[in-house]
Structure 1
Amino acid sequence: MKSDANRRDGWVVGIDAGGTRTRAVLADARDGQVRGEGEAGPGNALTVPGPELAAHLAEAVASAVPAAMRGQVLAVAAGFAGAARAPEEERGRVRARAALGAALSRLGIRTGAVEVHSDVEAAFAGAPGRPADGLALVAGTGVVAARIVGRVPAATSGGDGWLLGDDGGGFWIGREATRAALRAVDGRGGPTVLTATVGRALGVAADTLPPAGGGCWAPARRAAYRAGLLPAVLDRPPVRLADLAPLVLEAAADNDLVARGILREAVAHLVLTVHALRPRPGELLVVTGGLTAPDGPLLTPLAARLAGLTIVPVADGRAGAVALARLLTGHRPADTP
């Protein structure tokens, strides 16, 4: 039997599987230093079909872990959007474990120390000092927050997916941009540059777009625009509406009132998601995801609305996943840089 010291001498893999992309990191089990990285397509355990999810995981891990080092991987920890660590029969967890197992087997990584976490657990574990208790918010394509106790979620808020929730996330922002464009077409909403930018992004015919400079947009052109926009949206996977979120950020930066209103409402949704967990004054809140990571476009307004909390942004869940993988090898949190 290998000694504990030998068990620690090797490599660990941390995976951050989000709604937009899957990222993997190879790190030294002893000191957590990163030795390789890889990236692939979406990793949401509930919305990505199983074979596709396994393929994305395999692609990301293969890029991060050279073939010659795969037999020396001691532990793998993965944080998945759409999954949780408990209960065992939770659908996202079951799908994530199956896909991860298939990916690792395909690559010849045969360690028995493999654990599936939620994306919010991985994000929280990546905070400086590796805290055990506090709050975490992931605001990327989707939105979920959790109260963490002993590195395990004790309560969650949000995380209901694009059909029923994800209010304030990238999908929600992209959907609101599309709705704003349609409302501008028929007069239910005010004029916005999003009508043109969303139309172009979705491939609507150029001769149906609103005239540049605010000229007359004839009823026939409006009808043709709507007739082109609706099938363009419905022919794509719904979650792809998140691709339109950057258009809202650009329009808001140019002082488009409709776009600015969408972002204000997005921040209000994120605040409500955190407040549902009844945060205590000064409590730690770890935030990540494309919208609230360091330099994220909604980090500053969110921090202003949650000024009573200690907000710590982290880039993503990779560092946390590495820390959780190192725990599987016997390293204490204090051993994790």
Structure 2
Amino acid sequence: MTGPLVLGVDAGGTGSRAVVADLHGHVHGSARGEGANPVAHGLDAAVKTVGDTVRAALAGLDPAAVTACVIGLAGALVTAPPPELLRAAAGLPVTPHTTGDLALAYTAGTTRPDGAVLIAGTGAVAALIRDRTLVRLADGHGWLLGDRGSGQWLGREAVRLALDAVDAGRPLTGAAAAAAARLTGRSDGDGLRAAVLAAVYGEPPARLARLAPLVLDAATDGDAAAQAVVDRAAGLLADTLEAVGPPAADGPVVLAGGLLTAGTPLAAAVRAELARRRPGAALRTAGSAAGAAAWLAARAVAPGAASAALHRALVAGGP
């Protein structure tokens, strides 16, 4: 017997993850699924995806052993499936508790209840957190109106570098050349300007985020123009964090999202910028959001067992 089990789910916009663990931090099952943002994918599709992901994580386990479930749901600020629908879709014996993906990303970096979180992935957003609940939000406005410093923003700036070089009659180098080549298959020759524009406007704007790694790689290789873009992105992300106000005294700032949790030049630039603006601030890096959801579920059934050690085990060991 493994004893009571808890279930945590990170139902994101581009992918979902579920982890099943016991109160000692041992993971007994995990699974990955498709995106489950009800705003982007529709309510019915989101419910089905969460249900499928949970059932896959529970394969070979007794669902009746699950004593608590927490689901972090992208898009929860706009709309969220009724918990009973999620319970039925997943075949759970308990009704899951749903929380927003921002509060969950924060919890993936700390056990402290109060602080702030800064997220940079395809989009960018910051939030002030009180008692593990979002109380103030900045940016996250989408590609047209915001997401400053995000992957989409970096990709757009790479295209701008390319077009500026073409307009000035300069050879494309570094991130500019790499972006043009990724979009069109070439980085010089007649008609390059039109080819770049056609490629960009021929696909959804969020797809520009796929060019972000080209900027980061070029900055690592010493491309001054790419490094300048990275530095501007770091400043914009720091501005977004400042917009939500300072966290509670000694409250940590959790850095989350693919651009800030990997060892990227942007992550380093953001840390340097925040150290300059907030000397002494406690910066934390988010781990597994699904593991954090499982930790929150453990808190619901055994508050005394939900220790920092259990948090480390689940956040570091979850999918």
TM range, normalised to the smaller chain?
A: 0.7 to 0.9
Picking from 168, 177, 183, the partner of 2:164 is 183
Tell me if 1:271 matches 2:238.
yes
Q: 1:68 to 1:282 in 2, by over 3 A?
A: closer
Q: Which residue does 2:30 correspond to in 1?
A: 37
Residue 7 of structure 2 aligns to a residue in which SS?
strand
Residue 200 of structure 1 aligns to a residue in which SS?
helix
Q: Which residue does 1:327 correspond to in 2?
A: 299
Q: Which residue does 1:23 correspond to in 2?
A: 17
The structural deviation recorded for 1:201 is 2.5
RMSD: 2.9
Between 54-63 and 73-82, report the one with greater CA deviation.
54-63
Letter in 2 for 1:69: D
Q: In 1, Cα distance between the equivalents of 2:169 and 2:17?
A: 41
The structural deviation recorded for 1:9 is 4.5
Q: 1:14 to 1:189 in 2, by over 3 A?
A: farther
The structural deviation recorded for 1:81 is 3.4
Q: 1:67 to 1:334 in 2, by over 3 A?
A: closer
Fraction of identical pairs, as percent: 33
- Residues 294 and 315 of structure 1 are in contact (CA less than 8 Å); yes or no, is this contact kept in structure 2? no
Q: Which residue does 1:108 correspond to in 2?
A: 91
- Residues 35 and 49 of structure 2 are in contact (CA less than 8 Å); yes or no, is this contact kept in structure 1? yes
Letter in 1 for 2:196: L
> Any residues of structure 2 matched to 1:53-132 within 5 Å, and which?
53-54=46-47, 56-66=49-59, 68-84=61-77, 91=78, 93-94=79-80, 97=81, 105-112=88-95, 114-128=96-110, 130-132=111-113
Tell me if 1:250 matches 2:243.
no
> Any residues of structure 2 matched to 1:124-273 within 5 Å, and which?
124-128=106-110, 130-187=111-168, 191-202=172-183, 204-206=184-186, 209-210=187-188, 217=189, 221=190, 223=191, 225-273=192-240
Q: 1:201 to 1:124 in 2, by over 3 A?
A: same
> Any residues of structure 2 matched to 1:285-300 within 5 Å, and which?
285-293=253-261, 295-300=263-268
- Residues 121 and 259 of structure 2 are in contact (CA less than 8 Å); yes or no, is this contact kept in structure 1? yes
Q: In 2, Cα distance between the equivalents of 1:72 and 1:189?
A: 65
The structural deviation recorded for 1:32 is 3.6
Q: 1:171 to 1:68 in 2, by over 3 A?
A: same
- Residues 38 and 59 of structure 1 are in contact (CA less than 8 Å); yes or no, is this contact kept in structure 2? no
- Report which of the two has the higher share of helix: 2
The structural deviation recorded for 1:159 is 2.1
The structural deviation recorded for 1:44 is 4.0
For structure 1, the 5+ residue unaligned runs are 1-7, 85-90, 211-216
Q: 1:236 to 1:42 in 2, by over 3 A?
A: farther
Q: 1:256 to 1:116 in 2, by over 3 A?
A: same
Q: In 2, Cα distance between the equivalents of 1:299 and 1:194?
A: 18
Q: Which residue does 2:315 correspond to in 1?
A: none
Picking from 274, 282, 290, the partner of 1:306 is 274
Residue 197 of structure 1 aligns to a residue in which SS?
helix
Q: In 1, Cα distance between the equivalents of 2:230 and 2:176?
A: 16
- Residues 288 and 294 of structure 1 are in contact (CA less than 8 Å); yes or no, is this contact kept in structure 2? no
Letter in 2 for 1:13: L
The structural deviation recorded for 1:121 is 0.7
Q: Which residue does 2:317 correspond to in 1?
A: none
The structural deviation recorded for 1:325 is 2.0
Residue 166 of structure 1 aligns to a residue in which SS?
coil
Letter in 2 for 1:105: A
The structural deviation recorded for 1:313 is 1.1
The structural deviation recorded for 1:249 is 0.7
Q: In 1, Cα distance between the equivalents of 2:40 and 2:117?
A: 22
The structural deviation recorded for 1:244 is 1.5
Between 119-128 and 241-250, report the one with greater CA deviation.
119-128
CA distances 1:110-146 after superposition (whole Å, capped 9, x unpaired): 521x122222211222334x11111122222222222
Q: In 1, Cα distance between the equivalents of 2:61 and 2:253?
A: 40
Between 288-297 and 326-335, report the one with greater CA deviation.
326-335
Q: Which residue does 1:3 correspond to in 2?
A: none
Letter in 1 for 2:274: L
Q: 1:159 to 1:116 in 2, by over 3 A?
A: farther
Q: In 2, Cα distance between the equivalents of 1:123 and 1:233?
A: 31
- Residues 32 and 326 of structure 1 are in contact (CA less than 8 Å); yes or no, is this contact kept in structure 2? no
Report the count of equivalent residues: 303
